[in-house]
Amino acid sequence: MKNFILLASLFIVLHACNQKKTTLKQIAKVETKVAVAKKTDSSKQQQQQRITKAFVLGKFNYKTDTSFVKANAIYTTKTIYLKNTVYKAFIAMYNHAKSDGITLKMVSGTRNFYEQKAIWERKWHKYANLTPIKRAKKILEFSSMPTTSRHHWGTDIDINNLNNSYFEKGQGKTEYDWLVNNANKYGFYQVYTTKGAGRTGYNLERWHWSYLPLSSQYLEVYNTSISYQDINGFKGSKLAESLNIITYYVNGISEQIKLLSASKK
């Protein structure tokens, strides 16, 4: 009996010890998870701190920026630079398309503030007969105000043709259907979908595809650090606020993409 009591006590002590061990293990696990989460959080913050205001406004030289690369001429119709990561993703998508008998050529890539200013002001002069607001709205059907373009970021590309009608039939439709079915697998999304159903801003652009893993981060930085005081340095820039450029145009992207970006935060 005495032995039994001794054995029972030993069992209870051992069991308690084991429970304590398990609890300690669980705590350690949770602590590791918290540490990992904190690390991910701080590396995201660090990453975002490196994304400067000048960068999201397009006020930098992508030709000398080491995170940019000049695309090989087989992928383009002119000289085009992209963020390294975006270029790699495009090549993977290009190869897949090629094996399906589809050729994807970039017709436009990165444009900085100064290049966008040249486009904007050329159109500004072209529509000189319109009132300032109508003039800006006319350009904004397809072109961004300098400092507000996604093309500043090296993440957005125009593919094969700059007319929606091209993608409605024949070869163009085959290409567009392929992109709709496959581009997402490589991180590319059509941002300027059919207007309405909540989307504001630029007209439909079947040719414009954005590499979302990076561009969604840049948009977040844009929204947290840029105000209307930063939108300046070109003709008509004073109209930006009354046209609600940041809300209606910079954020005038497909609802599906907004939801997707929000779910990845």
Q: Give residue number: closest CB to Zn ion.
A: 208
Q: How far is the CB of 257 from Zn ion (least distance, A)?
A: 15
CA distance 223 to 241: 14
Nearer to Zn ion, 105 or 208 (CB): 208
Q: How far is the CB of 156 from Zn ion (least distance, A)?
A: 6
Nearer to Zn ion, 41 or 141 (CB): 141
Nearer to Zn ion, 158 or 175 (CB): 158
Q: How far is the CB of 208 from Zn ion (least distance, A)?
A: 4
Q: How far is the CB of 168 from Zn ion (least distance, A)?
A: 18
Q: How far is the CB of 154 from Zn ion (least distance, A)?
A: 12
Nearer to Zn ion, 190 or 217 (CB): 190
Nearer to Zn ion, 82 or 229 (CB): 82
Residues forming the site for Zn ion (CB under 5 A): 158, 208
